[in-house]
Amino acid sequence: MMKILLMTVLTVTMSTTLAKAQAYKLPVDRVWQFARQQLKHAVSEWEDSIQYPRFTGSDGKWLTVPIQDWTSGFFPGCLWHAFEESGDPSLRAAAVRWTEGLESIQYLKSHHDVGFMIFSSYGNGYRITRNEQYKDVILQAARSLMTRYNPTVGCIKSWDNRRWPYPVIIDNMMNLELLFWASQNGGTKEMYDAALSHAVKTMQNHFRPDYSTYHVISYDTITGRVLTKGTSQGYADSSCWARGQAWSIYGFTMAYRYTKDLRFLQTAQHAADYFIGHLPADYVPYWDFQAPGIPNEPRDVSAAAVASSALLELSKYGDASRLKSKYREAAENILGSICSAPYLAEGTSSQAILNHSVGHKPKNAEVDVSLIYADYYFLEATLRYAQQPK
């Protein structure tokens, strides 16, 4: 009897271990242990005065920004991811504190990034806690974003007071999730229609025939026509900025999730094919796919992190199993690379989780540093990876 019991226990233990090993080909447990350690260290440093990190300085320490900065939602978002992964109550308490520090951002109307800021903080917070006050904040943020929608152009304006009269950047696809979600959770049909229109216009105007993306499209507000196609953060107007391409994969995959519009799925697939087809041997892109000094140009791990998370979601959609495996394999290759040196910050002076990202190369700002949004999308990708085993 004892022998049978022992055999049964052993068989169950072995099959569980085997299933786990197959599900987690990547070292996610070790990476998460390191991620929790980095996040808790930052939280303890800012215990007395709450701070929002954006990028690291040359000493590896986080540099922080006011809450109006487009990146302020990502640190609370990392804390929500870490709580979701671990169930650790101290991470939940920190996530709540850092999220609620952004409450006034629901009224921000001065740029389009209210979507990034509120959805990565309050959006994750609501998904995990179902706190109704968080939902109210998200809905108000969606109303604020709607003030930037011009029906003649059919898009949300990205920036004010720049050299373009009505700039719309590819990154802006990411802010549409706030509107799509709000329209299905107590918001208005106008929010859905605006997000849909913005996605259609972006699909029509931001892509070249090879499905690389322009960064900035400027529109005429009288006629709604395109005035110029160019870049701000890329190498050249005609080049493809790597993080912009990653935003396009993520944005159109997300737009397909909410609308089931097959045009968006196909756009995401084409954008992904371009991204994957232009990766170097270690799967981490140079900051711009046409940067002139390749292979002596900086890599952008943030683009790799955003794309890996997007590709994991994309691998769930459509009928073509060849494409699904292609996107899953590409995500796994990218994650495998950034889960190890030199990209994982383990053993370095950085307070972040990942090294070697690029913020704004043409301005020579935040070049080869850690960026909080690289960490955020990396943690999201590892969660997605663990939740959707092969």
**Closest separation in Å from C-beta 12 to ligand GLY:** 47
**Closest separation in Å from C-beta 290 to ligand GLY:** 18
Q: Is the peptide bond before 389 cis (omega within 30 degrees of 0)?
A: no
Which parts of 93-122 interact with ligand GLY (CB under 6 A)?
Answer: none
167-169/357-360 β-pairing: unpaired
**Closest separation in Å from C-beta 318 to ligand GLY:** 27
How many other CB atoms are found less than 10 A from the CB of residue 336? Answer: 15
> In this complex, which beta carbon is closest to ligand GLY, that of residue 166 or of residue 373?
373
> In this complex, which beta carbon is closest to ligand GLY, that of residue 83 or of residue 378?
378
Alpha-carbon gap, residue 265 to 171, rounded angstroms: 17
Catalytic residue among 29, 59, 69, 171: 171
Q: What are phi and psi of 63, to 5 degrees?
A: -105, 135
> In this complex, which beta carbon is closest to ligand GLY, that of residue 84 or of residue 300?
300
What torsion, rounded to 10 degrees, do the Cα atoms 11, 14, 15, 21 define? Answer: 180
**Closest separation in Å from C-beta 171 to ligand GLY:** 4
> In this complex, which beta carbon is closest to ligand GLY, that of residue 233 or of residue 355?
233
Question: Among residues 92, 243, 326, 361, which is the contact residue for ligand GLY, using CB under 6 A?
Answer: 243
Is 261 considered catalytic here? no
226-230/357-360 β-pairing: unpaired
> In this complex, which beta carbon is closest to ligand GLY, that of residue 142 or of residue 173?
173
> In this complex, which beta carbon is closest to ligand GLY, that of residue 243 or of residue 299?
243
3-state secondary structure of 195: helix
**Closest separation in Å from C-beta 223 to ligand GLY:** 27
Catalytic residue among 29, 48, 59, 113: 113
How many other CB atoms are found less than 10 A from the CB of residue 153? Answer: 22
Which parts of 54-73 interact with ligand GLY (CB under 6 A)?
Answer: 70
How many other CB atoms are found less than 10 A from the CB of residue 68? Answer: 16
Structure tokens at 141: 């943020």
Q: Contact, 273 vs 211, CB < 8 A?
A: yes
**Alpha-helical regions (H) of the chain:** 2-23, 28-45, 74-86, 89-100, 114-118, 124-129, 132-146, 176-183, 189-205, 242-259, 262-277, 301-314, 321-338, 372-387
Site size toward ligand GLY, by CB under 6 A: 4
Structure tokens at 190: 């106008």
Alpha-carbon gap, residue 115 to 138, rounded angstroms: 9
Task: Say whether residue 171 binds ligand GLY (CB under 6 A).
Answer: yes
> In this complex, which beta carbon is closest to ligand GLY, that of residue 31 or of residue 311?
311
**Closest separation in Å from C-beta 70 to ligand GLY:** 6
Task: Say whether residue 332 binds ligand GLY (CB under 6 A).
Answer: no
How many other CB atoms are found less than 10 A from the CB of residue 162? Answer: 12
Alpha-carbon gap, residue 316 to 323, rounded angstroms: 10
Find the residue with minimal CB distance to ligand GLY: 171
Q: Contact, 269 vs 250, CB < 8 A?
A: no
> In this complex, which beta carbon is closest to ligand GLY, that of residue 67 or of residue 386?
67
Is 171 considered catalytic here? yes
**Closest separation in Å from C-beta 117 to ligand GLY:** 11
**Closest separation in Å from C-beta 232 to ligand GLY:** 9
Alpha-carbon gap, residue 233 to 273, rounded angstroms: 22
Q: Which residues are catalytic?
A: 113, 171
Query: What is the contact surface with ligand GLY in residues (CB under 6 A)?
Result: 70, 171, 233, 243
